[in-house]
Amino acid sequence: MRNLIFPDYDKMSKWMAHYIVHKIKKANPTSDRPYVLGLPTGSSPVGTYKELVKLYNDGKVSFRNVITFNMDEYVGLPEDHPQSYHYFMWDNLFRHIDIPQEQINIPDGNAPDLQQECWNYEEKIKEAGGIDLFLGGIGEDGHIAFNEPGSSLSSRTRLKTLTYDTRVTNARFFDGDVDRVPKTALTVGVGTVMDAGEVAILVKGIKKARAMRMMIEEGVNHMWTSSMLQLHPHGMVLCDEEATMELKVGTVKYFKDIEREALSKLPEV
Ligand SMILES: N[C@@H]1[C@@H](O)[C@H](O)[C@@H](COP(=O)(O)O)O[C@@H]1O
């Protein structure tokens, strides 16, 4: 697993966006051979999405032959609810770029048969040829997508009950009212994320420092589902300085040293 440590959030976001564009351009996607991206919501990827929009506006990239799959969605929130992940994605990314609407996939948390929706989602990913690059964030409890502690590390897309902790953490988006945070969500599984060709996790701020330690320095453990990244052949964690606060000094020095060159410049676009 790689760990790229940036001086601050803006630098991390810029690097991530350039990396994504670099990968899309390298793949030179066509309608027959599209590039497939897995995408997260939350505050961590907002900077990356802003930078992607900027790169698009600067004419550096087109998303015409890109297919996206979002990680998760709350159950029961209308799509036009400002806190639904549908709304978030359109607001932060999709309406600003040239991706055709039919190439955007987000689990439908209002589907009449939620189980069927999850099976269909997995099928759609397969039909698209699998996910090339899955972007993610982590929760304070180390969850990836909505794979809460104790989730099977080989899980697939399914309905999950959110922990009280996660609902309290996400209450900040619902006027601080935990009762308004949905109790369940549809989420890709840890196994779904691990099937991607590459996985890149964005981590920002001191609140994630403990989860960072569990993900990077401790063993693979279903109580910290993002630790599964250790078993991925192409896993990478991008973080700011604050997120490293609970890592050993030696770990931080090691990663800064081996990533010196990668950190010294932006991926070519
Ligand atoms: N389901 C999402 C996760 O995919 C996300 O990684 C996490 C962290 O959010 P933030 O980036 O706002 O800290 O929030 C939610 O729980």
Which atom from ligand 1 is nearest to the alpha carbon of 202? Answer: 11
Per-residue pLDDT at 23: 98
Domain layout of the chain by residue ranges: 2-264
pLDDT tens profile 207-265: 999 999 999 999 999 999 999 999 999 999 999 999 999 999 999 999 999 999 999 99
pTM: 0.96
Under DSSP, is residue 203 helix (H, G, I), strand (E, B) or coil?
Answer: strand
Which pLDDT belongs to residue 50?
98
Q: For the sheet containing 198-203, what is the strand order?
A: 2-6, 235-240, 198-203, 133-137, 35-39, 66-70, 104-105
Distance 142 CA to ligand 1 centre (A): 10
Measure 211 CA to ligand 1 centroid, in angstroms: 12
Percent of the chain with pLDDT over 70: 100
Indicate the top mutation candidate among 48, 143, 163, 190 to test ligand 1's pocket, ranked by most ligand atoms within 8 A of CB.
Answer: 143
Indicate the pLDDT class of residue 205, thresholds 50, 70 and 90: very high
Question: What local confidence, expressed as pLDDT, does residue 59 receive?
Answer: 98
Q: Does the annotation mark 79 as catalytic?
A: no
| pLDDT given at position 1 | 97
Mean pLDDT of 156-170: 93
Residues 78-96: tens digit of each pLDDT: 999 999 999 999 999 999 9
> What ipTM goes with this model?
0.94
Ligand 1 binding pocket mutation candidate from 92, 170, 240 (most atoms within 8 A of CB): 170
State the DSSP string of 205-233.
Answer: SGGGHHHHHHHHTS--BTTBGGGGGGG-T
Active-site annotation holder among 132, 148, 195, 240 = 148
Q: Which CATH entry fits the domain spanning 2-264: 2.60.40.1180, 3.40.50.1360, 3.40.50.360, 1.10.287.1040?
A: 3.40.50.1360
Instruction: Please report the beta strands in 108-259, taking only residues with DSSP state E, as ranges in sequence order.
Output: 133-137, 158-161, 184-187, 198-203, 235-240
Is 132 among the catalytic positions?
no
Residue 31 CA, ligand 1 centroid: distance in Å? 31
Atom 3 of ligand 1, nearest CA residue: 145
Q: Within 6 Å (CB) of ligand 1, which residues are found?
A: 40-44, 71-72, 137-139, 145-146, 166, 170
pLDDT tens per residue, range 5-32: 999 999 999 999 999 999 999 999 999 9
Verify whether residue 141 is a known catalytic residue: yes
Catalytic residue flag (residue 72): yes
21 HSE (CA, 13 A, CB side):
26
Residue nearest to atom 9 of ligand 1 (CA): 42
Give tens-digit pLDDT for 99-125: 999 999 999 999 999 999 999 999 999
Of all protein residues, the one whose alpha carbon is nearest to atom 7 of ligand 1 is 139
Ligand 1 center to 44 CA (angstroms) = 7
